[in-house]
Structure 1
Amino acid sequence: MPAYKYGIASLLLLGALLISPAASAATYVVPAGPLPPGCSYDGTEVLCNGNLIFGNNDTINVSSPTTLRITGDFTFGNNFVVNEGGNTDDLNIIVEGNMNPSNNGIINANLTVEGSINSGNNTGFTGGLIVSGNLNLGNNSTVSGNIQVDGTLNTGNNITIDGNIDATNVNIGENNTVNGNIEAENVNINGGNSVINGDVDATNSVNNNGTINGDVDSPNVNDNGNITGDQCDQQQEIENEEDRGCSPEGNVEYFQLTHSGTALTCEAYPVTVTACADAGCTNQFAFTGTVDIAESTGGFAASTASFNNSSQTTVELDIPTVGNYQLVTQNPTGEIPASGVQCDSVNGCAITAVDTALRFTNEQSQVAGVSFSLGLEAIRTDTNTGACGAALQGNQNVQFALSCQNPGTCSNTTTYPQAALTINSNTVGTAATAVPVTFDSNGAGTLNVTYGDVGSIALSASTQAPTSATLSGNSAPFVVKPHAVGFTISSNPAAGLTSDFHLANVFASAGENFEVRLTALNFNGDATPNFGNENTAQTLALVNHSLLAPTGSGANSGTLANMNGFSASSNIAEYVNSSVNFNEVGVIQLEANVAGGDYLGAGGINGALNRTSEPVGRFIPAYFEVLSQTPVLVHAQDDFTYYGQPTEFGLNPQWELRAYSTAGALITNYRDLFYRLTSDGSTDGNRFDTTATSNLANVTASLNGTATLQVANQSTLGQPLEFQLVNLSMLFSKPQVPKLPAQADYNITVPASLMTDSDGVCIASQAAPGNCQDISLNNSLIGEAMDMTGTELLDGVVVLNDSYGVDGEPLPVDVIITAYTSVGGLEAYRVNTRDNSTPVTTAWLTNLACAGNTLNAQGNTTVSGGRTGNSFVVDGAATPCEALWQPNLNDLGVDYLRSWNSTSNAWEDPAATLYFGRFRGNDRIIFTREIGW
């Protein structure tokens, strides 16, 4: 995998992409980010001001449940995807303007649009649609959810809607399928091949050219197709209900009667009546009306159950005569049940009325393995008064037996001894077992009961009275639910920790799947064998999680994915899920419960401590990504830098580090004690491999000084982490052969090891998170913009010419700075007129001996236009003399202005002779004068 390489040009291009219409697909993540342009997250919802426009093939993913609010129109191109494969309820989209989908879109969210929706073809909507304006669905589109439209719903061809429709006007096209009911003022089913699998309720008119597999309720029906249900007008007042054609709406599936099954002739017999809305009575329907609870042959007087906007009520029956009876319902008003009565009792709808009986009391939902009390009353009917009295007093042996209702078979206590039932410390099974019970003067006894298993159970009891009469009775069924959920998470380093969670070893990367096993337990911590064997098998699931660390303001609790994907394992009452994952860094705690939060109507598992796991973690990032900025070299002087002259960074080598999950989602919890990058101190500059680019032949680039890696925000919340190298300068070596000016191209490589944390997380890609990559900081991609981030390098050489002066007078000395350039194709060292800053100080000429004279420069100066001219002056010698002047450029700090002597193979300093005294001329010049013939 190549190293990351970034330059200003690439950053400028990135910026252009962000502010101009997308030329390629973009992926956004709400609310974690990156967010669409113009959008922000305030902690509760993602707000996008104005119109929001997406291009073709763009995608929005969901990192955690949120609301996306758009204050203008919502428009997107072809193949736009929102929350594909996610939970529909995790995303609510509110559009305050219109929504304009193009073709082939996938929208998995609950939508509320204050304007209209004008959808293209082949668009799939999953979730509820609430539209204040009109809804126009293009051809071949699908909707999985209920539709509510204040205006008109128009569908194209080949549309499938799985849900109910509520609109003002509905116009159905050709070859449509609606799997739900339609309510509107006007309904027009225009397609001959369109099918409505539900009822149609129109307050004005229905025009049907297709098939309606349900009832049609409307005052005006024009049927040119096929209606398989009844046709009626329930808006019209009709005295005879049967003349209306349609039955009242079937909101009540059946009435359920809950009773004990044994009635005493000496007291009223209570029956609870429930209006069930579905086959399992999972949901109930509240209404206002009545139903009579009676005996099938009229064996006793009926009693009327009254509902006042309620779904459950209780009646009391007077059964004065011993016998066997059968409960029925009669004469319902307000709601007509779809099916017959059902009874929740050991004996179904049968009642046995007796004069003497054992009656259980306090049958309530219980917890497996937790002791509870039941009452047992021995009752007889006084033959003189008809009132109830005590049938037993004192200590009596009573035969008890266990009956498992749901599941219908009790667990084998030989195999699973923890599943046993005990009454007053005596083990009781399905066969009758004698248990001593003490009855008081009122015939009431107390039973101390413990059941180690789960399910709906009932107890039966029988004994003989002193009169030899047999007393017997059955309890009402009651539910025993699990006490706790057991967690098994293999190789979990954080287990057992109560603090210092950051000390845990690595458990998994953020987004990496791990296995969780859940077991339904009783109070003693034993598995409950019957869990999962119910008529409708119960299961366990994860329902929540909490972030234990890191903590602090803004810490991201993250998202726990695949919480419901548990299946039964080979172990009793155990459920396994190997695809759970957490998308953040830190340590968490899991919470589990019975799936749906309710065990056979008895509610979920009590007590948070009984539902939560030990700490789970530590979760770490899957990989890092880096965004670097091209370092900016400033000119060492004027508008250039000499080869061999150190140049500073105007913009230090720096980069941003971002942590990601395996799914490519940005992580925010890589902070504080969970931040594991340790390279935050001084580091030898030689660790960074620096090389010159190919156009700088015979030149090497190196870093001067000791690099200090500074971390801008390692201890603060959030992303990104910012790094920079400081206390560094760059040096490009002076070539031995003359070199023309060139741009300072360079590359700084930060090795992968420096950005690899103590957990082994490094800079990599989502596809190959273990393939660690270096960071490459360079300006090789700048091209025409190179002068923005670099400096021009010049080959400079100092030239000193011989100087002549009168003895006793100061002598100006011209110091010339040359640079190797090309003029008209001719390459040579020429005066560097760009140099206006090289200092020439008195140190250049100090205590120079000249025939007993000591020469010193009179003051400091700076070259101008590449030379000192008359600005660098030497004291005059008192007597005529000459001296060789050769300043040591290395000692003067300008060794980069020396020249290479190819003969001696060494860098050499410039030299010149200073002459003092009357100039006698040049020995090599002969003057002649012609005086005539």
Structure 2
Amino acid sequence: MNSFRTHQSGYRARSLSTLCLVVLLSCPVSAVPVLFNLLGGATMGVDWVTSNASRAVINSLGELNLRNGYVEVESQVYDFSEADSVDLSFDVSVPFNILGLIGSAPNPGENLVAQYRRDDGGWQTLNTFVANNGFLGLLSLGNSYTYSATLPSNAYHDNFQIRYVMTGGGFGLFDLLGDNWYVSDIVVNADLPPAGPDHFRFSYLSTALTCNPHSVTVYACADANCTSTYNDDVTIILSPSGWVGGDTRTLSGGRDTFQLRQTTPGTSNIGITFSTPPKIGGGDLCSIDGGGYSTNCSLTFASAGFVVSTPDFLSGKGTATATIQAVRQSDNSPLCVPAFSNVTKSVDFYTRYDSPPTGTMVSDLGGVNVSGSAAAPTSLSLNFDGSGTATLPTLGYSDAGQKTLVARYDGSDSDVGLTLIGQDNYVARPAGLCINTGSTCSGSYASCGVFGTAGDSFPVEISAVAWQADSDSDFCDGNTATPNYISVSPVNLSATVLAPSGGENGVISPGSYTHTMSATGITSVSMTQSEVGVFSIDAQPPLYFGAALGTLSDTTLQTFSSRPTGRFIPAYFDVALTDAGSINSGCPTGNTYTGEPFSWLVAPELTISSYNAATPAVVTQNYTDDDFRKLTAAALFAGVSTPSTDTAAQGKDTTLLPLAGSPETDFNEGELTVIAPGQMRYVFSALDSMAYARTLNAEVNPFVPDLAFSIGSWSDGEAGFTGPLNFSPDTSGVSMRFGRMRLQDTFGAEMYDLNVGLVTEYFLDGKYVRNDLDDCTDWDSANATVDGISAVAASSGTLTAGSSGNEGIRLLAPTTVPGAPDTGDAGISYTAPTWLRGDYDGDGSFESPSSTVSFGVYRGHERIVYRRELRN
């Protein structure tokens, strides 16, 4: 079977510039649509093969007819391995039927399956056309269907085929007129590299000499407009005869330069008489002396003229090695001999713009401007040596591009009738690129001013510039622009991080631009830099007329850099709540008293990330370098709003319960650390302290605290966070209780020491009850004072379930009369923590608890019959 010709995938690029041939450079080949009519002129057994020759034919109407039962039909093989896309379309039709049984249409079960071969060798079903009543109806006069689709990527391989399968399962008893599927107009449209060049083009100068081979550049064009070249090898036969190295040559990479020798004066026509592969388009076209392409492909050889040699040079620097030689064909051989020697002659010069075809700057010879018009040339007096050669004054041109220097001599006196013409083109190549960001940064990069925001656009002006000095390292310092510079393919853009050291270079967008000619020579590019820091903006232009900028022949691409930019800063910060934290109760049982300070069991934790302004935004990893991180814990702490009241618990007057002021409630600056590039952690301070204000209004039933914190707007001085971020720490294990301490009244025998019990209580439903959650309150007799007939002995302990139990503050047996026990009362008071003091006397203020201790066996105070606490 036939297969479509394979092409090297390296030449399939689609992004092509029409500038390619303007500057006489080859460009990658573009894929072109190729139509394949799989049935046009096809025959069974050659273009298609079948599993049963009696059941598949290509009929006189050009239709693929599958009939009378199971059969498979496969197309020839096609090579779509380099296809950019493959589209398939075909039509399917069926004749009439009755009930799907009688007639020439397929019966139920005799379906038509369309498939293609995948790159793994298997068959992939595209569609199944069903031969049943659902498709054809109970009574049908026939039907048709059109299929069209773009095939998936697994169809792009070198063994592509189409297959149609008629399945079995029909009712042969009723096949009175046969069972038929008809497939027509099977068309594949594939985007493929061309099978051969579309046509050929030639470019050459018109001043050819019989004594000197003449250079002709040949292009193999991939399309009618020659926007790209056909880069596979092409064997060509050149005409006329006389090409150096033979008339049969191989054209590689889309272009090559050959030399034609003609030893007899006269005019020849340049062309290609045959090529392999053959061209698929139009005829040959020629450009003479840089002019437009036309069918005029003549070349006239003269027996005498100038051989002009103008080497390439850097724009603005020029070359002192350009020469001109007056030659003629020897009388005895085809070799060149001097046309005159050891004489001084006046020669006319003018220049021509080749690429680009226009310009504003003139070339000069030894500082003398050279005319751009053949009608008004510039005359120079030249000294020709014995070989007929004269060295030209330094040839200079401050712009970029390719130009041609044309020389003409019209003889006089003894040379009357002698006309010598010669020309040569030269390339003035820019010395480099000036990348001007409009800002510069020196010294300590971290101290430089803000240049821009990461992710936001900023303008950059890029110009190709002329040579100023061999040691030039800053092409933006005094170098003049070359307005005619054009990049024939995109200039690659990137950035190099200068600070922080070892930081990320970031992503520059766009990643490339195309430099166009302009009056100023400046191309403005709106760019973005994704990262934070100080950078150089780098540009790597493509080869210019076969060599890198700043060189005469080096093909290694050169990269040019801007001065250091100022600092890029983040666009904003994002704050995420990593941990809302939890409250540490005053006692592990969960008990905390109103007025009692409490702090964090787990301090709240935040993650702060610095972002750029891109969409979507990306973390700027360089920000957290020590020198570029401007955010401090103090700046972040300044944006923290701390609670002043509970959000739900109310006092007696139904207002929200407030927190106490300093020093009971005191918030401190937390700790800020770097946890990953571009990310920081802020942890609230372990020194933070909170307490509810203890007032009579706060004498309410126990409640679970609900405290609201907020991270408001803050800034590092350059970029900021726009809040709020609200959160509440976990307080689920805390019971906030309005409490007090009570000293128990005690009595006993006067000859023994007595213990005064301590009890803590909390307010519940209008009365005080013992606080069985208090396992933490410490007591110490050092805080007790006694008056009367006793004294305090040293004792201490910790309450359990709100009580000191059998222990307490020990009062010594009274000894008013030495040596004899005494009876009577002693008053005792205890300096309790402020949150355990109560309004025992109902005067609206809180005081420490007190009680009376009676010494005497089973007696209390003689004047007291019964004692209990009364509440207002």
TM-score (structure 1 length as normaliser): 0.64
Residue 466 (structure 2) pairs with residue 516 (structure 1): no
Distance 2:643 2:804 in 1: 40
Residue 716 (structure 2) pairs with residue 757 (structure 1): yes
Partner of 1:45: none
Q: 1:361 aligns with which of 309, 317, 342?
A: 309
Aligned residues: 676
> Residues 467 and 571 of structure 1: is their aligned pair in 2 closer, same or farther, counting only changes over 3 Å?
closer
> Residues 684 and 906 of structure 1: is their aligned pair in 2 closer, same or farther, counting only changes over 3 Å?
farther
Residue 495 (structure 2) pairs with residue 545 (structure 1): yes
Q: 2:367 aligns with which of 425, 445, 468?
A: 425
Distance 1:577 1:739 in 2: 69
Partner of 2:38: none
Partner of 2:602: 651
> Residues 542 and 691 of structure 1: is their aligned pair in 2 closer, same or farther, counting only changes over 3 Å?
farther
Partner of 2:433: 485
Distance 1:644 1:396 in 2: 113
> Residues 331 and 801 of structure 1: is their aligned pair in 2 closer, same or farther, counting only changes over 3 Å?
closer
Partner of 1:38: none
Kindly state the Cα deviation for residue 924 of structure 1 after the two structures are TM-superposed. 5.6
> Residues 566 and 695 of structure 1: is their aligned pair in 2 closer, same or farther, counting only changes over 3 Å?
farther
Partner of 2:776: 837
Kindly state the Cα deviation for residue 313 of structure 1 after the two structures are TM-superposed. 5.0
Kindly state the Cα deviation for residue 730 of structure 1 after the two structures are TM-superposed. 1.7
AA aligned to 2:815 is A
Asked whether the 8 Å contact 1:136–1:155 carries over to 2, the reply is no
Distance 1:742 1:569 in 2: 78
Partner of 1:671: 624
Distance 1:313 1:272 in 2: 6
> Residues 464 and 610 of structure 1: is their aligned pair in 2 closer, same or farther, counting only changes over 3 Å?
farther
> Residues 350 and 720 of structure 1: is their aligned pair in 2 closer, same or farther, counting only changes over 3 Å?
farther
Asked whether the 8 Å contact 1:462–1:470 carries over to 2, the reply is no
Asked whether the 8 Å contact 1:293–1:328 carries over to 2, the reply is yes
AA aligned to 1:582 is Q
Asked whether the 8 Å contact 1:380–1:388 carries over to 2, the reply is yes
Asked whether the 8 Å contact 2:636–2:715 carries over to 1, the reply is no
Asked whether the 8 Å contact 1:371–1:450 carries over to 2, the reply is yes
Residue 792 (structure 2) pairs with residue 856 (structure 1): yes
Asked whether the 8 Å contact 1:424–1:435 carries over to 2, the reply is no
Asked whether the 8 Å contact 2:572–2:721 carries over to 1, the reply is yes
Is the partner of 2:247 in helix, strand or coil? Answer: strand
Asked whether the 8 Å contact 1:649–1:730 carries over to 2, the reply is no
> Residues 570 and 262 of structure 1: is their aligned pair in 2 closer, same or farther, counting only changes over 3 Å?
closer
Residue 573 (structure 2) pairs with residue 624 (structure 1): yes
Is the partner of 1:209 in helix, strand or coil? Answer: strand
Residue 821 (structure 2) pairs with residue 876 (structure 1): no
Kindly state the Cα deviation for residue 814 of structure 1 after the two structures are TM-superposed. 0.8
Instruction: State the Cα deviation string for residues 375-401 of structure 1 (Å, max 9, x = none).
Output: 322222221344322234445432111
Kindly state the Cα deviation for residue 809 of structure 1 after the two structures are TM-superposed. 2.0
Kindly state the Cα deviation for residue 558 of structure 1 after the two structures are TM-superposed. 2.1
Residue 356 (structure 2) pairs with residue 407 (structure 1): yes
Partner of 2:747: 804
Instruction: State the Cα deviation string for residues 214-259 of structure 1 (Å, max 9, x = none).
Output: 7999xxxxxxxxxxxxxxxxxxxxxxxxxxxxxx963223334444
> Residues 610 and 648 of structure 1: is their aligned pair in 2 closer, same or farther, counting only changes over 3 Å?
closer
Instruction: State the Cα deviation string for residues 318-361 of structure 1 (Å, max 9, x = none).
Output: 31111222212213234436333334541773323222211123
AA aligned to 1:861 is G
What value does the CA root-mean-square deviation take over the aligned residues? 4.2
AA aligned to 2:645 is T
Kindly state the Cα deviation for residue 685 of structure 1 after the two structures are TM-superposed. 12
Residue 645 (structure 2) pairs with residue 709 (structure 1): no
Distance 1:569 1:904 in 2: 94
Asked whether the 8 Å contact 2:401–2:428 carries over to 1, the reply is yes
Asked whether the 8 Å contact 2:452–2:566 carries over to 1, the reply is yes
Partner of 2:347: 398
AA aligned to 1:758 is G
For structure 2, which runs of at least 5 residues remain unmatched after alignment? 1-79, 90-117, 129-144, 166-181, 292-296, 469-478, 817-821, 867-872
> Residues 332 and 619 of structure 1: is their aligned pair in 2 closer, same or farther, counting only changes over 3 Å?
same
Partner of 1:497: 441
Residue 667 (structure 2) pairs with residue 725 (structure 1): no
> Residues 441 and 721 of structure 1: is their aligned pair in 2 closer, same or farther, counting only changes over 3 Å?
farther
Residue 737 (structure 2) pairs with residue 794 (structure 1): yes
Is the partner of 1:708 in helix, strand or coil? Answer: coil
User: Which of these two proteins has the greater Rg computed from alpha carbons?
Assistant: 2
Is the partner of 1:730 in helix, strand or coil? Answer: coil
Distance 2:854 2:847 in 1: 22
Is the partner of 1:371 in helix, strand or coil? Answer: coil
Partner of 1:692: 646
Kindly state the Cα deviation for residue 635 of structure 1 after the two structures are TM-superposed. 1.6
AA aligned to 2:716 is D
Is the partner of 1:174 in helix, strand or coil? Answer: strand
Asked whether the 8 Å contact 1:707–1:728 carries over to 2, the reply is yes
Kindly state the Cα deviation for residue 839 of structure 1 after the two structures are TM-superposed. 0.8
> Residues 568 and 475 of structure 1: is their aligned pair in 2 closer, same or farther, counting only changes over 3 Å?
closer
Partner of 1:319: 262
Q: 2:147 aligns with which of 174, 177, 188?
A: 174
Distance 1:339 1:685 in 2: 75
For structure 1, which runs of at least 5 residues remain unmatched after alignment? 1-127, 138-146, 158-171, 191-206, 218-247, 412-418, 765-772, 928-933
Partner of 1:455: 401
- The farther-off stretch of 674-683 and 349-358 is 674-683
AA aligned to 1:818 is E
Distance 2:432 2:388 in 1: 37
> Residues 325 and 258 of structure 1: is their aligned pair in 2 closer, same or farther, counting only changes over 3 Å?
same
Distance 1:711 1:565 in 2: 42
Q: 1:209 aligns with which of 170, 181, 184?
A: 184
Instruction: State the Cα deviation string for residues 742-782 of structure 1 (Å, max 9, x = none).
Output: 00111233442xx31111x2223xxxxxxxx2443424xx7
Q: 1:586 aligns with which of 533, 543, 547?
A: 533
Percent identity over paired residues: 21
Instruction: State the Cα deviation string for residues 706-735 of structure 1 (Å, max 9, x = none).
Output: 513211228x63324434333112212224
Distance 1:500 1:910 in 2: 67
Partner of 1:867: 803
Instruction: State the Cα deviation string for residues 433-480 of structure 1 (Å, max 9, x = none).
Output: 122444443233333211122333211102257745635334344443
> Residues 409 and 834 of structure 1: is their aligned pair in 2 closer, same or farther, counting only changes over 3 Å?
closer
Distance 2:400 2:367 in 1: 19
AA aligned to 1:461 is A
Distance 2:183 2:561 in 1: 56
> Residues 389 and 734 of structure 1: is their aligned pair in 2 closer, same or farther, counting only changes over 3 Å?
same
Kindly state the Cα deviation for residue 509 of structure 1 after the two structures are TM-superposed. 2.1
Residue 335 (structure 2) pairs with residue 387 (structure 1): yes
Instruction: State the Cα deviation string for residues 803-823 of structure 1 (Å, max 9, x = none).
Output: 12333422111111111224x
Is the partner of 1:507 in helix, strand or coil? Answer: strand
Residue 191 (structure 2) pairs with residue 254 (structure 1): no
Residue 697 (structure 2) pairs with residue 744 (structure 1): no
